Amino acid sequence: MNNLEQGANSGAEQIPYSIIQHNVDDISLTSSEISQLWATYMAQSMSKCMVPYFVEKCKDPDIRSVLQLVLDVSNRHINSITETLNKANFPIPHGFTDEDFDVKAKQLYSDTFMLMYSSFMAKYGLINFGFAFTASTRPDICGFFEGCLHDFIEIRKKANNVLLSKGLLVRTPYIPIPDRVDYVHAETKFFKGLMGDKRPLNALEIQHIFINAYSRQLEDSLMLGFGQVVKSKKLKDYFSRGKQIADKQIGVLGSLLEDEDLPKPISYNSHVTDSTESPYSDKLIMFHTTVFLAYSISGIGLALANCARPDVIAAFSRLVSEVGDYVKDGLDLMIENGWLERVPETANRKELRVTNN
């Protein structure tokens, strides 16, 4: 079995891609494979530096076992991608190092929050690895991302099992079971919703409103904690603004649920301690924030594709615009501080023509 596959799926059964006989190292990496390996390396490099602090501070042995699994998986993925990029003579991203975290810093988030955070990140990791698998063609790269899917399924299952055992697993609202199959008729005014009477939210809309509200609640607590510990005033102001945006969006999504007498997710701000001692570098905090917000944008995109009531679509459209503008400002701050690694690009043909002249 190729080492890339072994690193991603250690201990799992041999996967179909390993039966390919030719030497996959002779096949050039495509732009899709490069982009997904690069993005995975950066995300796992971040995780490799964030999670040791979580493990160190966690007092609950059940939660610590989940966090340790996340750390072990990150290390395996980093090693596998490094080997593959070295064979392709591709420069290894800088990512993050031991200088970007301090396990001796005071605890910033509760054990419960760290567990919820791990489950949330595993969920969106599964979405991203599913895309990476379908975007890849080289057998060993496909095998690697298939292994990543297995790893993150294990993380998600283990995290949710612990949440369930402690009565902490967040579920979307229940709705009545229909007594028959029904169809949409013109007189039901299926798309009515901006003014006047609105049809009830359907199950898909409830799911996406609730999940995005839950995402905003986690984001709100992250912003609260990060705003306490970053050193730069510009970054403090940035996180203060981010928390205001999250609070407003929680209100918008929560009102959609409350109007239907449905429950909304609770706040997790009580799970943020009063520590002002940063466990992470400002660079790592800003990168993590852009990753988390990218997941939020993905969640809103899925919602827009699955919702039909006009007021719900309008709400999600405003939300994605606000988050997108906020992410852009965060990237500007990263560029200003020299923290933003450039994603691999194609050749600049125009520049090459000028140079040749």
Does residue 182 belong to any structural domain of this protein? no
Residue 197 has pLDDT above 90, yes or no: no
Return the pLDDT at 11: 46
Question: For residues 12, 14, 20 and 21, what is the CA-based torsion angle, rounded to 10 degrees?
Answer: 120
Amino acid at 48: K
Which residue segment(s) compose the domain that 204 sits in? 191-336
Return the pLDDT at 353: 74
**Residue from 44, 62, 51 nearest 7 by CA:** 44
Does residue 256 belong to any structural domain of this protein? yes
146-179 per-position pLDDT tens digit = 999 999 999 999 999 999 999 999 999 999 999 9
Residue 129 shares a structural domain with residue 205: no
209-239 per-position pLDDT tens digit = 999 999 999 999 999 999 999 999 999 999 9
Last residue of a domain, one of 131, 165, 199: 165
Q: Residues for the chain: how many in total?
A: 357
247-274 per-position pLDDT tens digit = 999 999 999 999 999 999 999 999 999 9
User: Could you tell me where the DSSP H helices lie in the chain?
Assistant: 3-8, 31-57, 61-87, 111-135, 139-165, 203-229, 233-258, 282-306, 310-336, 349-356
Domain of 224: which CATH number?
1.20.1260.10
Q: Residue holding tokens 């419960």?
A: 112
Does residue 74 belong to any structural domain of this protein? yes
Residue 200 has pLDDT above 50, yes or no: yes
Residue 28 shares a structural domain with residue 147: yes
* CB proximity list for 180: less than 8 A, separation 6 or greater: none
Return the pLDDT at 22: 53
Distance between alpha carbon 10 and the CA centroid of its chain, in Å?
Answer: 23
Residue 134 shares a structural domain with residue 248: no
Residue 122 shares a structural domain with residue 215: no
Does residue 354 belong to any structural domain of this protein? no
List the single range of 4-8, 93-97, 198-202, 345-349 with lowest mean pLDDT: 4-8
The residue-averaged pLDDT of 114-141 equals: 95
* CB proximity list for 244: less than 8 A, separation 6 or greater: none
- Token readout for 240 is 């203060």
- Structural domains in the chain (count): 2
**Residue from 283, 65, 32, 10 nearest 135 by CA:** 32
**Residue from 278, 177, 194 nearest 230 by CA:** 278
Does residue 343 belong to any structural domain of this protein? no
Residue 156 shares a structural domain with residue 210: no
- Token readout for 334 is 């990263």
Residue 154 shares a structural domain with residue 196: no
SS3 label, residue 93: coil
Of all residues in the chain, the percent with pLDDT exceeding 90 is 84
The residue-averaged pLDDT of 33-59 equals: 97
Does residue 172 belong to any structural domain of this protein? no
Residue 272 shares a structural domain with residue 323: yes
Residue 13 has pLDDT above 60, yes or no: no
- Cα–Cα distance measured from residue 75 to residue 51, given in angstroms and rounded to the nearest whole number: 11
Residue 247 shares a structural domain with residue 310: yes
Which of the two residues, 49 and 189, has the higher pLDDT score?
49
Does residue 48 belong to any structural domain of this protein? yes
Return the pLDDT at 27: 85
Does residue 179 belong to any structural domain of this protein? no
Residue 310 shares a structural domain with residue 196: yes
Return the pLDDT at 18: 43
Residue 113 shares a structural domain with residue 210: no
Residue 257 shares a structural domain with residue 332: yes
Residue 296 shares a structural domain with residue 233: yes
- Token readout for 282 is 């400002």
Return the pLDDT at 292: 93
